[in-house]
Amino acid sequence: MNFDLPKKPVFTSRRMEQQWNRMQGVKMVRSGWRVGDVAKFFGVSDRAVFGWVATFGQLGQNGL
């Protein structure tokens, strides 16, 4: 699966960086990446990625 992440910006807070990573993970899953591969890419559990996708579906980007 080919997914080009945008250049990672410099963040002023850890929270902003986490939200950016989660949004990229959601985009990766929606573009066809397997949850396990996204989890490995970001160093988190499969369950965390499933949570990101579910939260995004319910609350949008601000929920991440």
pLDDT of residue 9: 75
Query: What is the pLDDT confidence band of residue 55, given thresholds at 50, 70 and 90?
Result: very high
Q: Residue 21's domain spans which residues? A: 14-63
Query: What is the pLDDT confidence band of residue 2, given thresholds at 50, 70 and 90?
Result: low
Q: Are the beta carbons of 63 and 53 closer than 8 angstroms?
A: no
Number of domains the chain contains = 1
Q: Are the beta carbons of 45 and 35 closer than 8 angstroms?
A: no
Q: Which residue shows structure tokens 């579906």? A: 57
Does the predicted model carry a pTM greater than 0.75?
yes
User: Could you tell me which residue, 39 or 6, shows the higher pLDDT?
Assistant: 39
- Reply yes or no on whether the pLDDT at 1 is more than 70: no
Q: Residue 9: inside a domain, yes or no?
A: no
Angle (nearest 5°) at CA 28 between 36 and 44: 40
User: Could you tell me which residue, 46 or 62, shows the higher pLDDT?
Assistant: 46
